[in-house]
Amino acid sequence: MMTPHLLQRLVLLFSLLTAPTVWSAQTIPPPPPLAAKSFVLMDATTGDVLVNQLGDERLAPASLTKLMTAYIATLKIKRGELHEKDMVTISEKAWRMAGSKMFVQVGSQVSVNDLFHGIIIQSGNDASVALAEHIAGSEEAFASLMNAEAQRLGMRNSHFANATGWPAPDHYSTAHDMAILARAIINADPAHYAIYAQKYFLWNGIQQPNRNLLLWRNDGVDGLKTGHTEEAGYCLVASAKKNDQRLIAAVFGTESEAARATETGKLLGYGFLFFDSKTFYKKGSVLTQAPVWKGAARTVKAGVNTDVAVSMPRGDAAQFSTQVVLNPTVIAPLKLGAVIGKVEVRQGGKVVKSVDLVALEAVEQGGFFRRTWDSIRLFFKGLFG
Which residues are known to be catalytic?
A: 63, 66, 123
Are 326 and 288 contacting, i.e. CB atoms less than 8 angstroms apart? Answer: yes
What is the pairing mode between strands 200-203 and 206-209? antiparallel
The span from the CA of 163 to the CA of 153, in Å, is: 17
SS3 384: helix
Which H or E run contains 301?
strand 299-303
User: Nearest 5 degrees, angle CA 146-CA 136-CA 84?
Assistant: 95
What distances in angstroms separate CA 275 from CA 50, 152, 247, one per listed residue? 8, 29, 10
The span from the CA of 196 to the CA of 199, in Å, is: 8
Strand order in the sheet with 49-53: 49-53, 38-43, 245-254, 233-242, 221-229
Which H or E run contains 181?
helix 175-188
Q: Is there a cis peptide before residue 131, judged by omega within 30 degrees of 0?
A: no
Judged by phi (left if over 0) then psi (alpha if -120 to 50, else beta), residue 253 lies in: left
User: Nearest 5 degrees, angle CA 172-CA 177-CA 178?
Assistant: 85
The span from the CA of 97 to the CA of 118, in Å, is: 14
- Give long-range contacts, CB 8 A cutoff, 24+ apart: 368-372: 370/294, 370/295, 370/296, 371/294
The distance of Cα 185 from the centroid of its chain, to the nearest Å, equals: 7
Which H or E run contains 245?
strand 245-254
The span from the CA of 153 to the CA of 187, in Å, is: 13
Length in residues, the chain = 385
